[in-house]
C-alpha cells in the first residue's frame, strides 16, 4: 500500500494577498501578479483543511 503525495500548486498569503504558483520546471514558487508586502511574514492559506495525501 502506497500513498500519493499531492502538493499544493497555488498558495495565497492571508495577510498581504500575495499569490504564488508552483513552477515545476524551475522547482520553485513564482509570484502570480502583485508581490504584496515584501516585508510580510507570509501566512499561507495551506492549513489543516488541505489534504496532500491521496490513497
What is the pLDDT, as a whole number, of residue 21?
95
Positive or negative: CA dihedral 24, 46, 50, 10: negative
Q: CA 17, 39, 46 angle in degrees (round to 5)? A: 40
Evaluate if residue 55 carries a pLDDT over 70. Answer: no
Evaluate if residue 41 carries a pLDDT over 70. Answer: yes
What is the pLDDT, as a whole number, of residue 52?
67
- To which H or E segment does residue 19 belong? strand 19-23
| Reported confidence tier of residue 18, pLDDT bands at 50, 70, 90 | very high
Amino acid at each position: 500500500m502506497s500513498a500519493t503525495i499531492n502538493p499544493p500548486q497555488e498558495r495565497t498569503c492571508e495577510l498581504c494577498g500575495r499569490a504564488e504558483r508552483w513552477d515545476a520546471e524551475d522547482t520553485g514558487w513564482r509570484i502570480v501578479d502583485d508581490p504584496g508586502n515584501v516585508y510580510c511574514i507570509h501566512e499561507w492559506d495551506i492549513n489543516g483543511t488541505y489534504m496532500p495525501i491521496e490513497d
